[in-house]
A = this chain, B = another copy of it.
Amino acid sequence: MIRSESTEMYLKTILELGTGKEPVAISQVAERWGVTPVSANEMIKRLAEYGMIRHEPYKGVSLTETGLRQATNILRRHRLWERLLVDHLGVDWAESHDAACQLEHATAEAVTTALDAFLGHPTTCPHGNPIPDPGQPVNEAETRPLSTLEIGQQATIICIHPEETALLNYLAEHGIYPQRTVEVEEIAPLDGPLTVRVGEQRTVIGREAASRVHVAV
């Protein structure tokens, strides 16, 4: 009832979309998780009954203590799997996200612990996102979206967030991943694409995608 794959995905989605204090709109959850708003609403109702989330009508949802703890755990499992898949099994950087999404719901606590130890207690996933300590909420790094840089500014890519396979594939093809240095060369008007330089390469990237690439100046 409380640890089905569905409920876990909802909790994780709410955690990932929640930037800070403000609640997350149900429509956003529905869209990201690919269900209709009605379905999301029903599920949100159930999760609220279970005490995992708080629902302020017409505002959105936020996680309770319990919900936050569980969502954080799922995120932890997800990111640990990604590390194993990429670093040890040689699974593709972009593909690892989907694979971990499946595994995260099928992971016993003992496996999570063993995985963490085997990996040497890593602090970030291959896409740069922090791996929370067990029980602790994630503390986000000090970053800003690539889309907020100005022309000529240089920055280091910290993480891709929220992750999504199509996005990761696109970024991988263009050499955009954590640790690399980028410089914005041009910003098209009307929410148009950014032209950025990554190493020797020059790449054009849409505004929406750029807002998911977080950098430190």
A110 within 8 A of B: yes
- Inter-chain contacts of A103 with B (CB < 8 A): 103, 106-107, 111
Counting every copy of the chain, the complex holds 2
Of B89, B98, B111, which contacts A114 at CB under 8 A? B89
A88 within 8 A of B: yes
**A175-B114 Cα distance, complex, nearest whole Å:** 23
Of B90, B102, B114, B117, which contacts A108 at CB under 8 A? B102
Query: Smallest CB–CB gap between A78 and chain B, Å?
Result: 12
Q: A95-B110, A110-B95 given as contacts; is B102 within 8 A of A118 (CB)?
A: no
- Inter-chain contacts of A117 with B (CB < 8 A): 89-90
- Inter-chain contacts of A106 with B (CB < 8 A): 102-103, 105-106
Size category of the A interface is 20 to 34
Of B88, B91, B107, B110, which contacts A110 at CB under 8 A? B91
- Inter-chain contacts of A90 with B (CB < 8 A): 114, 117-118
Interface centre among A90, A95, A98, A110 (most CB of B within 10 A): A110
Q: A117-B90, A118-B88 given as contacts; is B110 within 8 A of A102 (CB)?
A: no
**A38-B105 Cα distance, complex, nearest whole Å:** 29
What residue of chain B has the Cβ atom nearest to residue A115's Cβ?
B89
B111–A107 contact, CB under 8 A? no
Query: Smallest CB–CB gap between A45 and chain B, Å?
Result: 26
Known A99-B107, A99-B110; 18 more pairs at CB < 8 Å: A85-B114, A88-B118, A89-B111, A89-B115, A89-B117, A89-B118, A90-B114, A90-B117, A91-B110, A91-B111, A91-B114, A92-B110, A95-B108, A99-B108, A103-B103, A103-B107, A105-B106, A106-B106
